[in-house]
Amino acid sequence: MKTYQSTHPWITFSLDLGRAPAKLWILLGEARSKCDHLVSIPLKPKVSNRLHQIYLAKGVQATTAIEGNTLTEEQVIQHLKGELRLPPSKEYLAREVDNIIKACNTITEEILGSAIENVGVVSESELCRYNREVLEGLDNEDHVVPGHVRESLEVTVGPYRGAPAADCRYLLQRLCGWLNEWDIGVGDDLGVVPVIIKAVLAHLYLAWIHPFADGNGRTARLLEFKILVAGGVPTVAAHLLSNHYNQTRSRYVRELSRASRTSDGVISFLLYAVQGFVDQLVEQIRFILAQQHMIAWKDLVHETFGASRSTTKKRQRDLALAIARNGEPVPYDRVTSLTTDLALAYGKRTRATLQRDLKMLRVLGLIVLEKEGYRAKFESMFAFLPRRREEYLNRYLMGLDSLERP
């Protein structure tokens, strides 16, 4: 009998989905639908690149923040652009971020660039490589050997004690074998549903085993990312679970603890993770739809003014587009400063010209005047959407309005 069987009896390499509530299956179905939706929406190259950059930054910042890294999402985006400057005492923070970025990019390239069918296979050597990568170039304690499975060192994380060191290599091999023979026994043609369950449980079990002296959490989240990408989850969505764990960090820790202490703990962790995944997918799709609506709005504005070469119509068109891009109502005295072109166009004209242009845009139904200022009348496009009860339509529109305009 292995020692872990008495110290960690919850490590069983089994899953009883017969106890899963209906809500879990509904959420998994929604996750599948939204993943399929996500890959079917065409985007302009600039918007697509921006989307990937934003969600890479979110995922990377999240997985390092859980471990104590203090760089913000905005700073990670700056770092991706090569614009972040840190003092020497904080350079290690950027190094931690670089390690995760490099690892995620390597995983993505290996999977998407491979014609091999079994790209989802997990091996002990691969997990050791992930651990080396996340710890590369960082100052570690003397007993930490990156990528080395514990053989004698016992580790604790808060109140949780990792599996006995003598069993770690055996448990890691069992975990890889279990994941590689994955079969949840609920039928075929489920899309990414089994993949999501497998990824979350891989994360959970690696956290339970804690096979390395350090970097276990980051390694677990990389494994989760790899399984999601290999299983067909869009790359931009494969970062969302890490982001969810970080945004709900205190509950993440509680659910990890509960999973090993209660009979329904694994199902509870699955439900927590999948609910967050779906919530993040909803936000991501809203972001994409906001970009789509902006493209449709630009088309509407251009159609309204036609192909006329009139200086007046060009000025009014540019004004309508600039107000829309601002995203928030624009006070009258700020309208002409929205862009350099507008400042030049109105610089030699009287206030009466601006007032006439604003009035014309209101007559055309392109802008409205509110207490805070002028805003684009986006709702004119939504009149052509399929009919829906007003309260649900308003909730949908509010979700779009809360996102920045491209």
pLDDT tens for each residue of 238-256: 999 999 999 999 999 999 9
Neighbouring-strand partners of residue 376: 367
Q: How far is CA 326 from CA 304, 329, 343, 397, in A?
A: 20, 8, 15, 17
pLDDT more than 90, % of the chain: 66
Predicted confidence (pLDDT) at residue 98 exceeds the cutoff of 60: yes
Tell me, what amino acid is at 265? G
Mean pLDDT across 374-393: 70
Query: What is the rounded CA–CA span in Å between residue 160 and residue 208?
Result: 9
At 183 the pLDDT is 66
Q: Is 212 helix (H, G, I), strand (E, B) or coil?
A: strand
Query: What is the rounded CA–CA span in Å between residue 130 and residue 299?
Result: 46
pLDDT tens for each residue of 222-232: 999 999 999 99
Mean pLDDT across 338-358: 93
Phi-psi region of 189 (alpha: psi -120 to 50; beta: other; left: phi over 0): left
Rg (CA), the chain: 26
Phi-psi region of 294 (alpha: psi -120 to 50; beta: other; left: phi over 0): alpha
Band of pLDDT at residue 391, cut at 50, 70 and 90: low
Mean pLDDT of the chain: 89
Class of domain 306-401: mainly alpha
Query: Among 45-59, 163-177, 356-370, which is the least confidently predicted range?
Result: 45-59
* Of 137, 126, 145, nearest in space to 214 by CA: 145
pLDDT tens for each residue of 355-379: 999 999 999 999 999 999 999 988 7
Class of domain 4-287: mainly alpha
Residue range(s) in the chain whose domain bears CATH number 1.10.10: 306-401
- Residue carrying structure tokens 């399984």: 227
Residue range(s) in the chain whose domain bears CATH number 1.10.3290.10: 4-287
Band of pLDDT at residue 406, cut at 50, 70 and 90: very low
